[in-house]
Structure 1
Amino acid sequence: MTVARSILLFVVAALFEIGGAWLVWQGWREHRGLWWIAAGVIALGAYGFVATFQPDPNFGRILAAYGGVFVAGSLAWGMVVDKFRPDRWDVIGALICLAGVAVIMYAPRPTG
């Protein structure tokens, strides 16, 4: 249950961070206005808050693992929202990152 909760929190955090960055991008680069930027800033703040619910108490570990989630999530976001077509190297790189997430977060560690 703890691993499933952790994965769900990573997915929610990715939606907030990648979505927030996308909103800022749209507001600034695509000239959609300050409301888009403001919504993006709020979403980015929510990302930081969601990360605090991870069961592991180590900030560095959580943020390092999230980096791999961000890589894979950004490619997925681009596919869904911007119709980006990743090549095989993008996919392989994302899978390597997710393998790193699994090792960082879920490898058995001695307790105590």
Structure 2
Amino acid sequence: MDIIKSLGIFFLAGLCEIGGGYMVWQWLKEDKPLWYGVLGAIILVLYGIIATWQTASFARVYATYGGIFIIMSLAWGWKVDGHRPDKWDIIGAMIALLGACIIIYMPRK
């Protein structure tokens, strides 16, 4: 699969997982209305569907997604909640992303 297309799918899946999870969190922890939770749950189901668009195996896709999720979670927290990542967050995220890219994009025999 083309790497750009694959990264786009990871990004879209990440938005759905983080956005859906955030909406459920807001409903349960921040007293938002029930529809937040319902919509968040629907978005989380979309995440599960979108992740299947990857062509690699389940294990590699989800391992890679973990690294990408770390970066996206830190970005979401910074832009949505105002929690700016520190240098250790950034270093850790880059290490995880490098490992994730090795897992999914390195050629196999």
User: With structure 2 as the length reference, what TM-score do the two structures score?
Assistant: 0.96
Q: Secondary structure at the match of 1:105?
A: helix
Aligned to 2:49: 49
Which structure 1 residue ranges, 5 or more long, are not aligned?
Answer: none
8 Å Cα contact 1:2-1:55 kept in structure 2: no
**Deviation, structure 1 residue 55:** 2.0
- 2:19 and 2:91 map into 1 onto residues whose CA distance is 23
Matches within 5 A, 1:60-75: 60-75=59-74
Residue 11 (1) aligns with residue 11 (2): yes
Identity %: 48
Aligned to 2:78: 79
Aligned to 2:24: 24
User: With structure 1 as the length reference, what TM-score do the two structures score?
Assistant: 0.94
Q: Spell out, residue by residue over 1:77-108, the C-alpha distance to the aligned partner (whole angstroms, 9 max, x if none).
A: 00111111111000001101110111011011
What is the RMSD of the two structures over their aligned residues, measured on CA atoms? 0.9
- 1:45 and 1:29 map into 2 onto residues whose CA distance is 21
Q: How many residues align?
A: 109
Structure 1 stretches of 4+ moved >2 Å: none
Which structure 2 residue ranges, 5 or more long, are not aligned?
Answer: none
Q: Secondary structure at the match of 1:53?
A: coil
Residue identity in the other structure for 1:23: M
- 2:85 and 2:94 map into 1 onto residues whose CA distance is 12
8 Å Cα contact 1:26-1:36 kept in structure 2: yes
8 Å Cα contact 1:20-1:40 kept in structure 2: yes
- 2:21 and 2:106 map into 1 onto residues whose CA distance is 30
Aligned to 2:91: 92
Residue identity in the other structure for 1:9: I
**Deviation, structure 1 residue 22:** 0.4
